[in-house]
Amino acid sequence: MPASKAMSTLRFAIDAGVAEIVLNRPDKMNAMNAAMVRELIAALESVESEGARACLVRGEGKAFCSGRDLSDADPLHEDGEQILREEFNPLMAAMAGVAVPTIAAVQGACLGTGLGLAMACDIVYAADDARVGSPFARIGAVLDSGAHRALVSRIGPHRTLELVYTGRLLSGREAAAWGLVNRSVAGGDLARRTRDLAASIARGPTSAFKESKAIVRRMLDAPMSFEDVLAAEAAAQGRASRTHDYQVGISAFLEKRRPSFTGS
């Protein structure tokens, strides 16, 4: 049976191993206020504890997330560092730290903290006409929410600084062509395509997927020599070889039948 939780700014449900987190402030283009940040962190903490094997994050309405809700901003008195350190940085770390595979479905505006949230996911599909970026040049703010690392690693420093200096937003098609997102799809197909992807991943050997995700994260966080990567892969393979899915998968291959993975 699907599991769901009622929240004021989100919808959260788990069905057939897929957790779906829906940003649900469509009248505000899903801008993040303090309540949404708290509820997002709580939902992300529930993904694994409630047995999900994949997680899909999407937005209700015309936008994925337009960034921080600036209606609560106090530019004359607020401390930008404190806001990031205490509120948004923990959210981005929680999103990046989810052990199971994560997918973002991006439509409309994906800006600021919304961009950071999407970039912290493993896979990003964007609607062809999505608007992706951080137009902080218009408000005198600095690109944040981990976007510097995501952009530099995916599109290079020259393109990153072009977007920072100009405030230019990329369409979903452009973001896919640049390699910022995995692919762009017709807006009407986005929810179906990403739900199908999440369901397919959740049916796979997710224990092995989690091992690969952990290795990739280690490589992003600190330099690893080729020997370090080989050692990490060997250790991960050792753990995988003691799982049910490893035994089922190899046996099914040898017997020329389809495996039925459990994620354990």
68 neighbors 88 (Cβ within 8 angstroms): yes
Q: What is the pLDDT of residue 114?
A: 98
Question: Rg for the chain (alpha carbons), in Å?
Answer: 19
Structural domains in the chain?
3-202 (3.90.226.10), 206-254 (1.10.12)
43 neighbors 12 (Cβ within 8 angstroms): yes
103 neighbors 198 (Cβ within 8 angstroms): yes
Alpha-carbon distances of 190 from 32, 92, 134, rounded to whole Å: 22, 23, 22
Q: What is the pLDDT of residue 98?
A: 98
Q: What is the pLDDT of residue 72?
A: 80
Q: What is the pLDDT of residue 3?
A: 65
- Separate counts of helices (H) and strands (E) for the chain: 11, 10
Please give the Cα distance from 230 to 233 (Å, whole number).
5
Look at residues 136, 188, 193, 192 and name the one whose alpha carbon lies nearest to residue 165: 136
184 neighbors 178 (Cβ within 8 angstroms): no
Q: How many CB atoms lie within 10 A of CB 72?
A: 10
91 neighbors 54 (Cβ within 8 angstroms): no
Q: What is the pLDDT of residue 1?
A: 38
- pTM (two decimals): 0.94
- Side-chain half-sphere of 229: how many Cα atoms within 13 Å? 11
Please give the Cα distance from 119 to 96 (Å, whole number).
9
Token pair recorded at residue 228: 């370090």
Please give the Cα distance from 86 to 158 (Å, whole number).
30
Q: What is the pLDDT of residue 243?
A: 95
Q: What is the mean pLDDT of each run of 10 residues along the chain (264 residues)?
A: 74 97 97 97 96 98 95 83 94 98 98 98 98 92 96 97 96 98 98 98 97 96 96 97 94 93 91
The SS3 assignment for 189 reads: helix
Cα-based angle 81, 84, 86 (whole degrees, multiple of 5): 100
